[in-house]
Amino acid sequence: EVQLVESGGGLVQPGRSLRLSCAASGFTFDDYAMHWVRQAPGKGLEWVSGISWNSGSIGYADSVKGRFTISRDNAKNSLYLQMNSLRAEDTALYYCAKDMSDYIWGSYHYWGQGTLVTVSS
Amino acid sequence: QSALTQPASVSGSPGQSITISCTGTSSDVGGYNYVSWYQQHPGKAPKLMIYEVSNRPSGVSNRFSGSKSGNTASLTISGLQAEDEADYYCSSYTSSSSLVFGTGTKVTVL
């Protein structure tokens, strides 16, 4: 059974940093691209970032480019999102999602339950 | 990276068919066959319903179907059931090697 478990969320002040993690199990992690998708309270889905199976292709939404960094450790079956210079508008539930492909085509086949990030002073 | 355009709401009676549109540009929906659709019930994670325009993952009812014409993709739900009441989002790969979601559609079963 595919499982994606996010962690690392919490309350953080504007301008500070936070690192999210996603522990994957139930599939061959290094065969698939992975993504972070967020959802602000009461709002729609927003793609944040994606990374191909070997980290060779990485993409970011314009809203986070230059502030967020996605990475993965295939030996540890883990996905990460380093978030710097956080803003109030980054407040959201952050989902980890598995692609159906090894490239970031964006068919999010499986999703975690999300970790909540709240940016507030 | 402008969000794809979806109707805010669509409704139908049990047993009817409804269609949700997802309009983008030639740089996303119109340029690639990497359009997918997601169902999200309140408080739950999204669920993949359609990928690559018209393919259903294993376990998804064949009442759900997808198509694309030009810059507009569509999700059709036939034989509408109470359990289909949820939010639906489309998504597309873009020419910027990024991804974009639609604005979301609330489906109501009357």
pLDDT digits (tens, 9 = 90+) for B16-51: 999 999 999 999 999 999 999 999 999 999 999 999
Q: pLDDT: is B1 or A13 the higher one? A: A13
- Count of Cβ atoms closer than 10 Å to residue A41 Cβ: 9
Mean pLDDT (chain B) is 97
A119 and A69 in contact (C-beta within 8 Å)? no
How many Å apart are CA A17 and CA A3, to the nearest integer?
Answer: 26
Q: In the prediction, which pLDDT does B40 show? A: 98
When CB atoms are compared, the residue of B45, B51, B99 closest to A47 is B99
SS3 A61: coil
Residue A49: which H helix or E strand, with range? strand A45-51
pLDDT confidence bin for B1, thresholds 50/70/90: confident
pLDDT at B84: 97
CA distance B78 to chain A (A): 22
Please answer yes or no on whether A44 and B34 come within 8 Å at the CB atom. no
Count of Cβ atoms closer than 10 Å to residue B32 Cβ = 19
Instruction: Map tokens 């999200």 to a residue.
Output: B40
Residue B32 φ then ψ, to 5°: -140, 150
Is B104's Cβ below 8 Å from some Cβ in A?
A: yes
Cross-chain Cβ contact B99/A114 below 8 Å: no
Of the candidates B45, B46, B91, the beta carbon closest to that of A106 is on B91
Please give chain A's pLDDT, 121 residues, in tens.
999 999 999 999 999 999 999 999 999 999 999 999 999 999 999 999 999 999 999 999 999 999 999 999 999 999 999 999 999 999 999 999 999 999 888 899 999 999 999 999 9
Residue B1 or residue A16, greater confidence? A16
